[in-house]
Amino acid sequence: MNMTFRAPMCKSWTLTDDSFTIGGKTILLSDITGVSTTSKPTALTNGVITVTLAGGGSQILAVGNKNAAQWEEIVAYIREHASISTTAPADIRPGEDGLVYDLEGVRGRHIRVYEDKAVISVKATVGSFITGNISDGEKTIYYADCIGVQFKESGLQIGYLQLETASALMNNKASNFFNENSFTFDTTKVPNEKMREVANYVRQQVEACKRQKSAPAAAAPSPADELKKFKELLDMGAITQEEFDAKKKQLLGL
């Protein structure tokens, strides 16, 4: 293969059998550890491929409408020849310190779903820089603090899973996609079916916390109930008469 791709306002790049060249540098396809797409080439927009490189960093590759018919072939070829881990991106790892799901998303997003909390982190990528989330770091959200869960499947736009909390102090509060409580993904990273499974799990855990909060507190036992319990212990020989008498005086305030 030896194809050159051009797109308006973007650097041209050339794809060969085992590498691509852009801006005077050549990158081996075997050095690519991740591939995601954010748009397809149309008459109005460029197709955008973001490749993650071994050792850190990423590279954006633009494809113009002239090569729209070859878009799927281009993306498939890069994925086929990249060194992407065979582990499913939505790998379930139950029992690892309560870790249930460990997912890599888009725009630098990563989420670890535990039995009692979710940890959303953002790493420095071109996508997180553009959305203003590059400095978000890592945030732990406990299900007990959640007031709701929003989920949108990936389609023409990227999808998201958002854990809503009452806090008004957060980055990009008005954006479901780039709120610091949101995990963003597309189907190249996590299939919609798997992400629905994750969203349902999080909802169940949040609802369980709500039911626990709303459950009436158990009434404290009355002195008479306590005295009856200690009388049974006395009859069983579990405590002495002296111990029973002392407890009786304590319960009756004598």
The proportion of the chain whose per-residue pLDDT surpasses 90, expressed as a percent, equals: 24
Is the pLDDT at 22 greater than 60? The verdict is: yes
> How many domains is the chain built from?
3
Q: Where are any strands of DSSP class E within the chain?
A: 2-5, 13-16, 19-22, 25-28, 32-39, 47-53, 58-63, 92-96, 99-104, 109-114, 117-122, 138-142, 146-152, 159-165, 182-185
Q: Is residue 86 part of a domain?
A: no
- What b-and-e string marks burial along 19-56, b requiring 16 or more CB atoms within 10 Å of the CB? ebebeeeebebeebbbbbbbbbbeeeebbbbbbbeeee
Q: What pLDDT score does 119 carry?
A: 92
Q: What pLDDT score does 135 carry?
A: 65
The pLDDT tens digits for 184-215 are 999 888 888 889 999 999 998 898 888 877 76
Q: Is residue 114 part of a domain?
A: yes
CB neighbours of residue 130 within 10 Å: 11
Q: What pLDDT score does 95 carry?
A: 45
Q: Is residue 145 part of a domain?
A: yes
For residue 122, the enclosing domain spans 92-214
Q: Is residue 29 part of a domain?
A: yes
Q: What is the CATH number of the domain that holds 24?
A: 2.30.29.30
Q: Report the alpha-carbon angle 68-27-44, nearest 5.
A: 25
Q: Are residues 113 and 202 in the same domain?
A: yes
Q: What pLDDT score does 79 carry?
A: 85
